[in-house]
Chains A and B, each alone.
Chain A
Amino acid sequence: MDATQLLKGVLDVAVLAVVEDEDGYGYDVVRRLRAAGLEEVGDASVYGTLRRLYSAGALTSYVVPSEEGPHRKYYGINAQGRATLELQRKVWAEFSATMNALLSSSSQPGEAA
């Protein structure tokens, strides 16, 4: 199974989890996701997700000017984002438990045989 396909479904909650710790700009969020083990994550997917979460009202955004080069756009989580994240944590916990149970039980007949 291709991990990038799975990632698409959970990128929202992954991004929310990353910015919950600390505000971040686009590439900063990419770097933290990769450091956490999601090495296949694409820049553009993360930037687009940040933009969509911002449009949906789950993130705040502010621009930090730079004298040395182009400015950076930072994203931070807000109350709605935290609520979304909490809900999705529960959904993920149930879903992953279900999947773990399904996958481990389907492997048992083979072991039992």
Chain B
Amino acid sequence: MTTSTVAPQIVRFAEGVRAALADLPAEEVDDLTEGLEADLAESLAEDLRRTLPDPVAYAAELRLAAGLPARAPSTKRGLLRGLPDAWQQTREAVDIAVRRTPVLAGAVDLAGSLRPVWWIVRAWLATWLLAAFFGMEDGYWFEGVWWLVLVGLVVVSAQWGRGRWSFPGLRAVLVVGNVVAVAALVPVLSAVDARSTDTVYVEGGYGEPDLTGVYLNGVPVTNIFGFDADGKPLREVQLFDQDGNPLATAVSGADGCLDADCEKTGLWVPSALRNGTVAWNVFPMRMVEDEMDVNGGLRAVPGAEPQDRVSPYKRVPALVTTEKVAKPND
């Protein structure tokens, strides 16, 4: 070579030739055009009057001499059959363009080595969506048996990703599934995030979340039912701990099952105090039916009224109070 770099018109010409060969397998294109720039540069340096030919005609001569089929016209074969061809050609053209750019090629290689991560992510996503359908998701994870489902789907996802367990039409299933998974990933992640830290539900000015929780033997307490000395249920009892902190079981935006079968879910409703603030430590706490808003968060169903929660006991045994014990002694 007489020059240290390739002239721009040669680079453009070589790109045109490769584009015209883009329907061939990438390996074939590489083999056919490897050294093309060097050959052209030398040829032009030797004959200064020479001009570069049409890259498409050049490519046609190249493939004819190489014994390769002429470029298949895809547009004459109808839209439905032409589209996959066009997609394939676009992919190959992009592949070739990417491979010529070291930074992009490196990024694509890295992404390729991270494919197993995606196989696991999509399996988690499918499990989460299924579990959420039955209301059995728990934050980013699930309840009980859904872990087995996750393990099963990870195995299936990885086998498909590695090209095992193939069946006719699997490729189409994977393409559609991946598109759906990518489209669903962000909404699901933000919905999970919104449920754990949601501050959207402020209807009636319910205020900032109170992150205090109450636990019994490690299990979260969601509601508290108080009874008076006679064993009768109490309403609207304000509870505090030994330091005067409000004893709150729920936070703003937290939800739970509204009915016994969990067919409906509801948001916990705090009580309003006369000083203008809201209190999350007033029990039994009531619940209002909720629904998913457009952002994937939860909100109260418009017009729904807060409902009392069903008490585990209608009545509990009365106390032997000091007052009653004292009476016989009088």
Residue positions of A touching B, CB distance < 8 A: 11, 25-27, 30-31, 42-49, 51-52, 54-55, 63, 66, 68-73
Q: Are B35 and A46 in contact (CB under 8 A)?
A: no
Q: Are B37 and A44 in contact (CB under 8 A)?
A: no
Residue B195, interface by CB 8 Å:
no
Residue B272, interface by CB 8 Å:
no
Q: Are B41 and A69 in contact (CB under 8 A)?
A: yes
Residue B3, interface by CB 8 Å:
yes
Residue B200, interface by CB 8 Å:
no
Give which listed residue, A26, A27, A42, A69, contacts B61 with CB less than 8 A: A42
Q: What are 21 pairs between A and B in contact, CB < 8 Å?
A: A11-B65, A27-B38, A27-B42, A30-B39, A30-B43, A43-B43, A44-B65, A45-B65, A47-B36, A48-B63, A48-B66, A48-B68, A51-B32, A52-B66, A55-B66, A55-B67, A63-B34, A69-B1, A69-B4, A70-B1, A71-B35
In the assembled complex, the Cα of A52 lies from the Cα of B170 at a distance in Å of 35
Residue from B4, B35, B41, B63 having most chain A Cβ neighbours under 10 A? B35
Q: Are B65 and A70 in contact (CB under 8 A)?
A: no
Q: How far is the CB of A15 from chain B (nearest CB, A)?
A: 10
Q: Are B38 and A72 in contact (CB under 8 A)?
A: yes
Q: How far is the CB of B21 from chain A (nearest CB, A)?
A: 11
The secondary-structure label for the interface of chain B is: helix
Q: How far is the CB of A91 from chain B (nearest CB, A)?
A: 19
Interface size grouping (class) on chain B? 20 to 34
Q: Which residues in window 26-62 of B have CB below 8 A to A?
A: 31-32, 34-43, 46, 58-59, 61-62
Chain B residues with CB under 8 Å of A42's CB are 61
In the assembled complex, the Cα of A26 lies from the Cα of B62 at a distance in Å of 12
In the assembled complex, the Cα of A51 lies from the Cα of B28 at a distance in Å of 9
Q: Are B65 and A69 in contact (CB under 8 A)?
A: no
In the assembled complex, the Cα of A59 lies from the Cα of B210 at a distance in Å of 78
In the assembled complex, the Cα of A72 lies from the Cα of B59 at a distance in Å of 19
In the assembled complex, the Cα of A62 lies from the Cα of B43 at a distance in Å of 21
Chain B residues with CB under 8 Å of A27's CB are 38-40, 42-43
Q: A47-B62, A48-B61 are in contact. Are A66 and B38 (CB under 8 A)?
A: yes
Contact with A along B64-76 (1 / 0, CB 8 A): 1111100000000
Nearest residue (CB) in A for B11 is A70
Chain B residues with CB under 8 Å of A46's CB are 65
Q: A25-B38, A25-B39, A26-B39 are in contact. Are A49 and B6 (CB under 8 A)?
A: no
Give which listed residue, A31, A51, A63, contacts B66 with CB less than 8 A: A51
Residue B329, interface by CB 8 Å:
no
